[in-house]
Structure 1
Amino acid sequence: MIKANNFKIILILGGLTALGPFSIDMYLPGFSGIATDLNTTVAKVAMTLSSYFIGISAGQLLYGPLLDRFGRKIPLFIGLLVYILASLGCVFVPDIDTFIGLRFIQAVGSCAATVASVSMVRDLFPVKEIPKVFSMLMLVVGLSPMLAPTIGGYVTASYGWQPVFLILMCLGIIILLAAHFGLPNTYTPDPTISLKPKPILKNFWTVLKEPQFYTYAFTGAISFSGLFTYVAASPILFMDIFAVDAKLYGWIFAFMSCSFIGASQLNSLLLRKFTSEQMIFGALLTQSVIIITFLIAAINNLLGLCGTIALLFMYLGCLGISNPNTAGLTLAPFTKNTGSASALMGAIQLGLGAIASFAVGIFVINSMVPMTIIMATTTITALIILQIGKRTIKVKH
């Protein structure tokens, strides 16, 4: 049982983890307005989402060694300052190419918060508690897809899309202050860790070749790329294909997130009766059945707005079950290289998410079928990797 006096720490760690998702979700209702103001297309605006995923993926590899070498707080604060300045720059972008570049920089800044929060969970809690802590973090993180697009929809409708990035800048400042005053120093800096490229790469390779790491990191990341597919496709799916307005889109997106949040909290209860390994397998098997049904219905043009929402709701619920368990089992073998392990895990997850969102920008235009094909491919691939990989490891709890 996680002690009540850890609630404040979990809340702040959740805020750090939520910064990236908030930065992804809040400007989605403004895609059409951005395209108009910057004289471009919605598909090109979607590339700002891909550049964000690329930035947050690459940046995690940068922060992992820094967090292990200098402790958690200094790299975290530098990253948050970069995020704050890049968010301000997004308010004044003159063209889409500059916007794409600034979103990359914004992502590099925000991922310091993501890697630091995951590392601190491993620092502060015993291995058996980690999946439960991640489920609690998801309760905080889950508020971002509930609040962000809804707020973004109203702000965009009333004031345009630029104020969204002013709000994100202020959010970055608040989180920086909360982390400074509310988080303990959880890790003693290790000056023996080299920041030269060769030792860093060797360190990452040491992490990567651990069977438990690569099995659960890739299972979780490939499965979770279905979420990135949904996020990237949702403005096209709901606002273009189903022709809902920005405000209604925000409410639909918020409703969808209830599935992810609810499932992640249900996960905490289910862990009393089932192991993390059983939870992952059950969630992926259910997710496979749902997405195959979704794909068949989409190909045969059997789905309206409500049917699409219902199937996506169930699909996202499965991710809410599997994700905290794959994250917990991925990090369980590590004590010394926790920062590098969490960074590599995040980089794999976000890198695959960037590929999925890039595929959405290319293939999802006026039909939901390409979206469901991508989601079915990722889900079934994750299930196959899990079945092959878990035969070769002895899980460390």
Structure 2
Amino acid sequence: MVLLGALSAFGPLSMDLYLPALPSLEAEFGAGQGAVQLTLTSVAVGLAVGQLVAGPLSDRFGRKVPVLVGVGAYALASVLCALAPSVWLLVGIRLLQGLAGAAGIVLARAVVRDRTEGTEAARAFALLASIGGAAPVLAPVLGGQLLRVTDWRGVFGVLALIGLVLLVAARWLPETLPAERRVRGGARATVRATRELVGRRAFRTAVLAQGLGFAALFTYISTSSFVLQTGYGLTPVQFSLVFAVNGAGIVAAGQLSRVLVARLGPRTLLVGGLAAQVAGGVGLVVTALADGGLPVLLPVLFVVVAATGLVLPNATALAMADAAGAAGTASALVGVGQFAVAGAIAPLAGLGAAGALLPMAAVMAGASVLGLVAGLRVPRAAGTPPRPLPD
């Protein structure tokens, strides 16, 4: 589970480690805030598209080989990011980095689904979310400290080193999909499984709720460094500490989900987490309109961010319960919903003035409201494994 958590942390690690360096990257290339934020959006798009490839391939060839290929390619792409001579080339390489890193994310979920179901799966996904939540806790703090001795290029060098370490560790990952359970029929079988999954209301609504909930978090990830450093005057180290506290909230909420899921069920926890996001998002908008200071801003921001520790694992458990015969494909669709929706919505926060709170607050609140609507549409009986998908 620790190794699976590390593999699933590729996404937040790729985005969070160099967040404190975004203003300095903007200054070096002479690019605007929107162009710099595209280096985050492109890796999110890569993570989404890459899962569409890695997930179905793992249903056909097993889980282990795609992990090893993806992690190795991720390490190489990180080296190329460190050598990028322009912001636009960096955007392109970050897309490749996301494509490679997607394998670890999608296959961590698939391995859990291979081994567990129902409440046990919800607990396992909550544990993955907590381990993955350590990335938002540690990455910005580490990134802030790295900037004391290196620049943003050195940060990508560290990502390359992390990729190499995980490549070695992943050699001990057990194969959880034996040959007799693998999907035959190539692309045609993948299309059939996709149609079957998307045709299920429980799957559709859970994926949409997760994507919108994550969009609120990703908006915070891609914009908060400008708001808190440029708008509110925090130093990179102070910003990383604030980010760490919010990341600790994700971990705490994930642990709370593990404790409560057997009693309340994943749907109730999902709706509760989305409702908390809405409350925090509305608080952010009010804070922006009233020109509130940090003592008001930071607590409501904490609520929105921490609530994702309830949203993500329970939405994942509800969606993956519908994946009896094609866990890799289902995991890929879950990942696409998460990163594609977030990648489409988060850039809207960059349309305002640099450092302004209101655009970030409005996008986070809007995504949270839509996420709650989707969460309420998840059937109350969702979470019990249905009939297996056809071979």
TM tier, shorter chain?
Answer: over 0.9
Question: How many pairs were matched up?
Answer: 384
Structure 1 range deviating more: 264-273 or 56-65:
264-273
Deviation string for 1:204-242 (max 9, x for gaps)? Answer: 222211221112111121122110011011111111101
Change (3 A) 1:188 1:280: same
Q: Is the 8 A contact 2:183 2:189 kept in 1?
A: no
Structure 1 segments unaligned to the other structure (5+ residues)? 1-9
Question: Could you tell me which residue of structure 1 aligns to residue 361 of structure 2?
Answer: 372
Question: Could you tell me which residue of structure 2 aligns to residue 96 of structure 1?
Answer: 87
Q: Which runs of 4+ in 1 moved over 6 A?
A: none
For residue 337 of structure 1, the aligned residue among 315, 326, 329 is 326
Matched, 1:299 2:285: no
Structure 2 segments unaligned to the other structure (5+ residues)? 386-391
For residue 246 of structure 2, the aligned residue among 244, 252, 256 is 256
Tell me the CA shift for residue 364 of structure 1: 5.7
Question: Could you tell me which residue of structure 1 aligns to residue 343 of structure 2?
Answer: 354
Change (3 A) 1:317 1:364: farther
Question: Could you tell me which residue of structure 1 aligns to residue 144 of structure 2?
Answer: 153
Change (3 A) 1:296 1:113: same
Please give the alpha-carbon distance, in whole angstroms, between the structure 2 residues aligned to 1:215 and 1:328.
Answer: 12
Tell me the CA shift for residue 330 of structure 1: 0.6
Change (3 A) 1:28 1:394: closer
Please give the alpha-carbon distance, in whole angstroms, between the structure 2 residues aligned to 1:344 and 1:245.
Answer: 38
Please give the alpha-carbon distance, in whole angstroms, between the structure 2 residues aligned to 1:385 and 1:126.
Answer: 23
Question: Could you tell me which residue of structure 1 aligns to residue 33 of structure 2?
Answer: 42
Question: Could you tell me which residue of structure 2 aligns to residue 128 of structure 1?
Answer: 119
Tell me the CA shift for residue 137 of structure 1: 1.4
Q: TM-score, normalised by structure 2?
A: 0.94
Structure 1 range deviating more: 79-88 or 316-325:
316-325
Structure 1 range deviating more: 313-322 or 187-196:
187-196
RMSD: 1.7
Q: Is the 8 A contact 1:229 1:360 kept in 2?
A: yes
- The secondary structure found in structure 1 opposite 2:177 is coil
Q: TM-score, normalised by structure 1?
A: 0.92
Question: Could you tell me which residue of structure 2 aligns to residue 4 of structure 1?
Answer: none
Matched, 1:324 2:303: no
Tell me the CA shift for residue 191 of structure 1: 6.2
Please give the alpha-carbon distance, in whole angstroms, between the structure 2 residues aligned to 1:331 and 1:75.
Answer: 20
Tell me the CA shift for residue 199 of structure 1: 4.6
Matched, 1:117 2:105: no
Please give the alpha-carbon distance, in whole angstroms, between the structure 1 residues aligned to 2:383 and 2:125.
Answer: 18
Please give the alpha-carbon distance, in whole angstroms, between the structure 2 residues aligned to 1:357 and 1:383.
Answer: 17
- The secondary structure found in structure 2 opposite 1:390 is coil
Deviation string for 1:346-391 (max 9, x for gaps)? Answer: 0011001101222123336342111111111111112222223427
Q: What one-letter code is carried by the residue in structure 2 that aligns with 1:95?
A: S
Structure 1 range deviating more: 227-236 or 305-314:
305-314
For residue 11 of structure 2, the aligned residue among 20, 23, 32 is 20
Q: What one-letter code is carried by the residue in structure 1 that aligns with 2:31?
A: T
Change (3 A) 1:173 1:63: same
Change (3 A) 1:306 1:42: same
Change (3 A) 1:164 1:251: same
Change (3 A) 1:62 1:364: farther
Change (3 A) 1:101 1:270: same
Question: Could you tell me which residue of structure 2 aligns to residue 309 of structure 1?
Answer: 298
